[in-house]
Amino acid sequence: MTRVLSVIPPLTQLNTPYPSTAYLTGFLRSRGIDAVQEDLALALVLRLLSGGGLAQVRQCIDALPARRRSPRVRAFAAAFARYRATIDPTIGFLQGRDPTLAHRIVSRAFLPEGPRFESLEGYADTGGDDPLAWAFGALGTQDRARHLATLYLNDIADVLRDAVDPRFEFVRYAEALAQSQPSFDPLAEALAAAPNLVDATLRELTLEALRRQQPRIVLVSAPFPGAVYGAFRIAQAIREEDPSIVLVLGGGYVNTELRELREPRVFDYFDYVTLDDGERPLLALLEHLRGERPREHLVRTFVRDPASAAVLYLQHPEPDVPLADAGTPTWDGLPLDQYLSLLDMLNPMHRLWSDGRWNKLTVAHGCYWKKCAFCDVSLDYISRYDVASATVLADRIEAIVQETGQTGFHFVDEAAPPKALKALATELLRRGTAISWWGNVRFEKTFDPALCQRLADSGCIAISGGLEVASDRLLALMKKGVSVAQVARVTRAFTDAGILVHAYLMYGFPTQTVQETVDALEYTRQLFAAGCIQSGFFHRFTCTVHSPVGLHPEEYGVQLAPGPAGNFARNDISFIDPTGVDHDALGRALNKALYNYMHGVALDADVRSWFEDKVPRTRVPKDFIAQALAARDAHS
C-alpha cells in the first residue's frame, strides 16, 4: 500500500500542532489509506534550542567577523556556558516535564537574561521590587517561570537572527519571500543559496523523517507565508534524496495567494499544487497515481505540462467531501508531550494562543454570514458553508480525548454559528462530556445571557470575535452586521457567564477618518473598563484581491493602485484612499494603548493622550457603553 506522509513545515506555532495534517491524516485513514504525519516545525526548533544546537550557533558566531557581531550576539557568546547549561532543562520545563524547575527560574539567578528581559521594566509599578507581582501574585510560580523562560527563548531567537539567519522568527519565518510576492525570484534565490545552520538542520530532520516513515507521497501544508520557505526547503531535500517521491503542496497560503499560479519553477520542487480543502483533490490524485483516473480529471490541481513546461490548472467538477464525512482528526504520530507552553503575553485571554496544547476542531466549514467587506468571501474556505451535526461533533470530541488524553479544544472556525454551538453544548451536557473549549464567533445578538451560560456550562472558557473598526458608520459600510452597542451587550453576556473575550480590531479601513479612529479607541477603552472584553488586537486593514473591497473598490470610496506583474503569489493589493490619513502613525498609538488596557493600566486616561493630544477630541459619550448595557438590562 502507498504510504502518504503529511508534514508541517516551519514555522507555525510551538504550543500545539497546526491541524491540517491531523485533518488529512484522519480523513485518509478513514478511507483505508496508509497515512502518517510529522511536525518538522517543532522538530526544527527543538533541535536548534538544545545544548547541541546552541553549540552549533556558537560555531557560527565564532566564524563571524568581529564587526558583524551585534551587541546581543556578543552578550550571548560571553554567557554561552550558562545558555548551554540551562537550555535543555528550560525546554523540559516548558514541555511540562520538570515543573519544579520553576522555583529556580523565578529566582532570576538561573537563566541568563538578555535584552528581552528589559520588557519587564515596562510593566505597571507595583510599589516594590517585583515587576511581575501584579500579574502573578505570590502563588503564580509556574506562570511566572513560563513567562521568564519565554523571554529567554526569544533572546536566543534574536541571536539566531543576528548570527545565523536574518529571516529567522518563531512565526513569520522568511515571510517576505512569499507574502503577496508576484515574483518567484526572491524565493528561488534564497533556495539556491548555500544552506545556513537552520537550512542544514531542517534538511537533516527531513531526511530522518523519510527514513522513519518510508513514504511514496509527501503532502506539505503551508498555512501562512511564514511557512513557505521551509516548505520549499523540505521539498528540495526530498527531491535530492529520492526524486521518485511524489510531492504535493497545499494549505491556506496556497488557497489565498497562489490561485493564479503560472510560475513553472514551483514544479522543480513540487509535482502537484492543490487548492482549497484537500480531501477531494487528494482522492482524485491518488486515483490518478494508481492509474485509475486520467490527469485531466484531477480536481483543483496545478501541474506543469511536461511538453510545453506551462502551468496547467485542472478542475474536474466533483463535489467536495461533506464535513460530516471528513473523518475524525488524528494526532497519532505527533509528539504531543514535546510542544512548548509559552507565555508571551501576561493577559489571561491573549495567552491562549501560545500557552497549552489544544485539540483543533472545526464546528462548521466556511462562514454562515460571508458578507464582510474585508474578508475573502469569494474563496471556498469562507463561501462554502457546511456544518456537521452535534452528534457527529461530540463523537469526534470523545474520540480525540480518548486518543490524546487531553480535553482542551480550540474550535478553529471562521465564525462558529450560534445554532451549531448551542446544539453542541446541549449534546456535551447531555453526555456529561467534560472538556474546555474556546473559539471564534460573530458577536450576534443570538448570544444572549442564557445561551452564553449554556456554552460556559459545556466548557467554553473564551471567545474571540470582530469588533473591527468600532464605528457604526464603518461597520455598516463593511456589512459586518453588528453595531458597537450590540457588541457591548453580547460581550458582557459572555463575561457575565465567566467566559473571557478577545476583540479583533482594525484601523485604516477605506474612508476611515482620524476622528473615527480616535472614537474607536474610546469605544474600546470603555469596553475594557466595563469588563466587556479582556483582550484585543489592532491590526492594519489590508485589502485583498478576493475581498469585496478588492473586487468592488468603487463601492468603498477607494481606487486600487496598479500592482507589479508576476506569475507567482497575489493577494494583498494597495489602494488609494482620498482621506489621506497617516494610519501607520495612528496605529502605533492604538497598539500602545491597547497593550496597557490589556494589563489594566490607564483605563481612566483621556484616549487623546496616546496620540500626544494631536488628534481631535473624541465625540463618543463617556458613558456610551454603560448606556448600552443599561438598555440591555432594562430589556431583560
d(CA 475, CA 213): 50
Q: Name the residue among 520, 524, 485 with its Cα closest to residue 503.
A: 524
Q: How confident is the model at residue 465 (pLDDT cuts 50, 70, 90)?
A: very high
For residues 460 and 579, membership in a common domain is answered with yes
Cell 509556574 sits on residue: 142
With bands split at pLDDT 50, 70 and 90, how would you rate the model's confidence at 185? very high
* Residues 489, 479, 564, 262, CA torsion sign: positive
* 460 plus 551 within the same structural domain: yes
The whole-number pLDDT of residue 262 equals 97
DSSP state string for 393-426: HHHHHHHHHHHHS--EEEE--SS--HHHHHHHHH
The distance from CA 549 to its chain's CA centroid, rounded to whole angstroms, is: 23
For residue 126, what pLDDT is reported?
42
Secondary structure (DSSP) of 331-368:
-TTS-TTS-----S--STTGGGGTSS--EEE-SEES-S
pLDDT at position 599: 86
Please give the grid coordinates belonging to residue 585. 502613525
Task: Band the pLDDT of 124: cuts 50, 70, 90.
Answer: very low
Same domain, 149 and 197: no
Pairing of β 575-576 and β 559-560: antiparallel
> Could you tell me if residue 334 is inside a domain?
no
Q: Are residues 421 and 565 in the same domain?
A: yes
The predicted model scores a pTM of 0.94
DSSP state of 246: E
At residue 350 the predicted structure's pLDDT band, cuts being 50, 70 and 90, is confident
Task: Answer with the one of 109, 130, 163 that is the final residue of a domain.
Answer: 163
Determine the pLDDT at residue 456: 98
Choosing from 163, 186, 215, the residue where a domain stops is: 163
pLDDT band at 347; cut points 50, 70, 90: confident
CA–CA dist 436, 498 (Å, integer):
13
Residue 499 sits in the same domain as residue 615: yes
- pLDDT score recorded for residue 635: 60
Higher pLDDT, 633 or 196: 196
Residue 280 in any domain: the answer is: yes
551 and 442 both lie in a single domain: yes
pLDDT band at residue 132, thresholds of 50, 70 and 90? low
Do 285 and 219 reside in the same domain of the chain?
A: yes
Coil, strand or helix at 550: helix
pLDDT of residue 297: 97
Whole-number percent of the chain with pLDDT over 70:
96
Mean pLDDT rounded to a whole number for the chain: 93
Residue 345 has pLDDT above 90, yes or no: no
Asked if residue 354 has pLDDT above 50, the reply is yes
Residue 452 pLDDT greater than 80, yes or no:
yes
Average pLDDT, integer, range 314-319: 95
Q: What is the mean pLDDT of residues 509-518?
A: 95
In the chain, the largest separation of any two C-alpha atoms, in whole Å, equals 74
Domain count for the chain: 3
Dump pLDDT digits (tens) for 364-420: 999 999 999 999 999 999 999 999 999 999 999 999 999 999 999 999 999 999 999
Do residues 114 and 256 both lie within one domain?
no
CATH of the domain at 250: 3.40.50.280
In a domain? residue 429: yes
Give the 3-state secondary structure of residue 598: helix
**Residue 341 included in any domain:** no
Domain boundary among 113, 141, 163: 163
Could you tell me if residue 559 is inside a domain?
Answer: yes
SS3 285: helix
Question: What are the residues facing 303 on neighbouring strands?
Answer: 312
CA distance 515 to 617: 8
Asked if 543 and 550 touch (Cβ cutoff 8 Å), the reply is yes
Instruction: Please report the pLDDT score of residue 123 as a whole number.
Output: 55
> Does the structure show a pLDDT above 90 at 1?
no
Q: Is residue 435 part of a domain?
A: yes
Give me the pLDDT at residue 125, please.
47
> In the prediction, which pLDDT does 127 show?
44
139 and 267, same domain (yes or no): no
| pLDDT level of residue 131 (50, 70, 90 thresholds) | low
Q: Does position 346 have pLDDT exceeding 80, yes or no?
A: no
Give the mean pLDDT of 226-237: 97
Q: How does residue 448 score in pLDDT terms, banded at 50, 70 and 90?
A: very high
Confidence of residue 171 (pLDDT cuts 50, 70, 90): confident
**For residue 336, what pLDDT is reported?**
96
pLDDT of residue 636: 57
The answer to whether the beta carbons of residues 278 and 219 sit under 8 Å apart is: yes
- Residue 119's domain comprises 47-163
Q: Verify that 237 and 282 share a domain, yes or no.
A: yes
pLDDT tier, 122 (very low <50, low <70, confident <90, very high otherwise): low
Among candidates 237, 311, 308, which has minimal Cα distance to 271?
Answer: 311
Q: How do residues 576-621 score in pLDDT, each as one tens digit?
A: 998 889 998 999 999 999 999 998 899 999 999 999 878 999 899 8
Average pLDDT rounded to a whole number, residues 79-96: 97
What is the average pLDDT across 454-458? Answer: 98
% the chain with pLDDT above 90: 85
CB 209 within 8 A of CB 234: no
pLDDT band at 154; cut points 50, 70, 90: very high
Tell me whether the omega of the peptide bond preceding residue 11 falls within 30 degrees of 0, making it cis. yes
pLDDT at 632 over 60: yes
Mean pLDDT of 555-565: 89
Q: Coil, strand, or helix at residue 467?
A: strand
| DSSP helix/strand/coil, 595 | helix
Q: What is the CATH number of the domain that holds 589?
A: 3.80.30.20
Question: Do both 377 and 467 map to the same domain?
Answer: yes
CA atoms of 603 and 614, how far apart (whole Å):
19
Question: Distance of CA 409 to CAs 142, 323, 459, 462, Å?
Answer: 22, 18, 9, 11
In a domain, 346, yes or no: no
State whether 407 and 308 are in the same domain: no
pLDDT of residue 634: 62
Query: What is the distance of C-alpha 501 from the center of its chain?
Result: 17
Assigned C-alpha cell, 86: 540551562
Tell me, yes or no, whether 373 lies in a domain: yes
Among 298, 312, 229, residue whose Cα is nearest residue 267: 312
For residues 90-95, give the mean pLDDT.
98
What is the predicted pLDDT for the residue at 614?
A: 85
